[in-house]
Structure 1
Amino acid sequence: MHSHITISTWTAAVLATITALSFDACADEKQPLSFTDFLIKHKGALPVPVVITEPAVGYGFGLGLLFFSGPIGESGATDSTGQPANRGPPNVTALGGLYTQNGTWAVAAAHFHTWGDDRFRYLGAVAKVDAHLDYFGLSGQPRAYTLLGAGLLQQFLARIGNSRWYAGVRYVFFDASSNFAGGVVPTEVRNFQKDQRIGAGSLIVDYDSRDNIFYPGSGSFAELESQFARTGFGGTQNYIPFYAQPYVDLRGVQKGRYQDRNAISIEAELRWDLTPRWRVLGFTGAGKAYGRLESFSQAHDVQSVGVGFRYLIARKLGVSIGIDIAHSKDQTAFYVQVGSAWR
């Protein structure tokens, strides 16, 4: 069993300054860019270019396709501001792939679905990956390794009464082969196995009062997860291997750079509305990883800071796109974002 705690603080709204063409066939010339009718009524796909600048894998490019359906598409009712009266999240199907300069590639498919006026939520995904990564460990020096495998995610949540609370289960399976460069395994990597399966079941409790799952303007989201990796769930061993242990997850910090049995991170974001569609934001965060390699007091304190913008491309869906630029010690990275950076 391990823990990974992330605390996210929502504060008010966003910035940016750019003009756009209107792609709405029925809109007047002053109507801003919006894909909502195309995405929902005509079953169109939202193409999402993925420009990869993650320090862990280098520069790269990917492409995702998002398909929307469900509650918003089935109801034409709107409130006084023109927003949909039914604020339940839409159903989303996603397909995508990516490739980076160090040879890392991945393909994936996922589906998110709700029933009963958002009383039940389902999330499923499959993926295949060939990743070229670094393990840092106690030395703090990168040790190159490759990870080739295929995985499955299944999750089901049910609302508790009429509250904002949800409870349910999550299952993760990953069948992978890993290799360290030169065949030299770091001494702190215990019980190393080249071929290994992860089978993990989780009990989950969520609190979700967000007005939109993609890029909220108000509300809160929190999740408590107890995860158990067991052979009974299809795993090779009753533990999580080195590459799947928790790490400090902040914009501007290399994925897996600070990793241990436990990880805690906190990030706050302040957003300003420039127009109903354009927003700018600033954010900062801190965290540390601890537990086996280093104690809490010995572990490095990690900080990051950054700025970004969003454009509300599909108003009724609440889908925004934009860019974040973030900096931490000795690292700067930018990210093309669809909605919020907090997942």
Structure 2
Amino acid sequence: MITIIYPYRNRELSRIKRSLDSLVHQDNKNFRVLFVDYGSSIPFADEVKNLVLSYSFATYQYSYTLYQPWSRSKAINIGLKWVQTPYVFVADIDVIFRNDFISMLNNLASSARCYYFKVGFLSEPETSVIKKFSEYQISFSSEMGAQGLSLFPLQAVQGIHGFDEFLHFWGAEDIDIHNRLTRTGIESLFYNDQILLLHQWHKSYRKGETDVLSNELQLKGVVQLNHQHLITHQNRGVTIPNFKTWGETISETDFNELNDFDNQIVINNTKERVTHFLFVELPQFQNGILSVRFVEDSFQNSIKYKIKKTVGKKVPNYYNLKEINDMLLLHIISFYHQLPYTFKISADLKSISFKIKKQSF
């Protein structure tokens, strides 16, 4: 028996349906699906849940992380804690499965090996049409470096505490887990005898990154940071990177408590004020909820400030909100991602709100 984990957030219902429909037609029914919704917007999540549960082989798990950055690692790890089968396949909502894929997984499954698979990528026009698997025209296929769609022995993956939860947004988590498993003696193999998986077209997420603040959570340079993290693991021979509490998520109770907490501290964007919060106030705070809102100092846009700056007089030094966004997100994913927290950018892009629940130990 194999469990298929889908890590997911806020993608089209049609995309979900096409992927799950391809599992309906498998010639081997010896599988389960665990669908981990890592923080879709709550009204939409109800539609997702209803669709997923309409498939008899699927279960649905919601994580209250809608006000946290995307982490494929954390989403998969949540699923790994629920898996009860000896083998797990990590999927993607964009995947269409050939009808003998589950049979192939059952044939390949081994406690001493993990496999990743060659994938055929569809163009936008080809994705828009529903066809038999064999009739799709493939634009290009993945090579050995693409390890995102993988079959693992569950005990081996749980033994190294799953995927590295430092890794947020995009990049490195798949290569990292294969590398760490290899260091424990598990063989990592690329299955490229034939194409058993197709990938539905979508816009590139990385091309959507901007150098200015946006309502979509982003961290400038995170792909390069994640790659450096991967290199460091390789150099140090790391096998177990996570806290003992890996695979956990913010509870509905904690989420509601944070959401309802109104006692907010307003912090202006002067460099010394922001720096003091990040390096002194935030790490020292314990036993309660800390709620702050970062805003631009009104003096920064005043005529007096502009005149003083022009004539070379002393004026405050400021971070812009994008810089604060990046520094705060970097602190969160480095030191606080295992704690209950929320991170919100206002619709008008004029403030950033951050709440975190900490307990003394």
Q: TM-score range by the shorter chain?
A: under 0.3
TM-score by length of 2: 0.24
- Larger fraction in strand: 1
- Larger fraction in helix: 2
